[in-house]
């Protein structure tokens, strides 16, 4: 499992992106990837904080989004979807309740393949 340390900071909380290998989206194995974005060092994340974080990321596919961290999405694309221009990568963000508390899930892949994602169940499998 690949982990991107210091992936982002949100409200002064360092975040990591941890690749998931055994989730419905990852198992679909049609060029889609999933990472869980969570606080560094296995720190607990409250549901309220997770909802704020989810809201922070959800504008990624909105061309009119005022969100700053577009470079973070480019980094995910270049780390996990090599050879595909970042503009051709689509993202879906969701909040998952896992055994270790809430996490923000980012499922991504080529925009042309993301329509397959709509048929995948988004239940955590940890």
- List the one residue out of 52, 120, 124, 60 whose CA is nearest residue 92: 60
| Beta carbons of 4 and 16 less than 8 angstroms apart | yes
Whole-structure pTM value:
0.77
**pLDDT tens-place string over residues 85-106:** 877 888 888 899 988 889 999 8
Domain ranges within the chain, ordered by starting residue: 3-115
**pLDDT tens-place string over residues 37-72:** 999 988 889 999 999 888 878 765 555 444 444 567
The percentage of residues in the chain with a pLDDT greater than 70, rounded to a whole number, is: 75
Alpha helices in 1-99 (DSSP H): 24-28, 47-57, 70-80
Higher pLDDT, 97 or 1: 97
Please name every residue paired with 107 in a beta bridge, in sequence order, or none if there are none: 34, 92
Higher pLDDT, 106 or 75: 106
């Amino acid at each position: 499992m690949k982990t991107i340390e210091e992936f982002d900071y949100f409200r002064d909380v360092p975040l990591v992106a941890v690749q998931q290998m055994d989730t419905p989206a990852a198992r679909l194995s049609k060029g889609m990837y999933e990472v869980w974005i969570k606080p560094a060092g296995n720190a607990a994340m409250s549901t309220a904080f997770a909802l704020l974080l989810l809201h922070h990321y959800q504008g990624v596919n909105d061309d009119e989004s005022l969100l700053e961290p577009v470079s973070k999405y480019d980094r995910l694309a270049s780390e996990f979807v090599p050879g595909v221009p970042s503009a051709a990568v689509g993202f879906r963000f969701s909040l998952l309740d896992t055994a270790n508390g809430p996490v923000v899930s980012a499922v991504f892949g080529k925009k042309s393949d993301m329509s397959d994602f709509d048929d995948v169940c988004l239940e955590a499998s940890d």
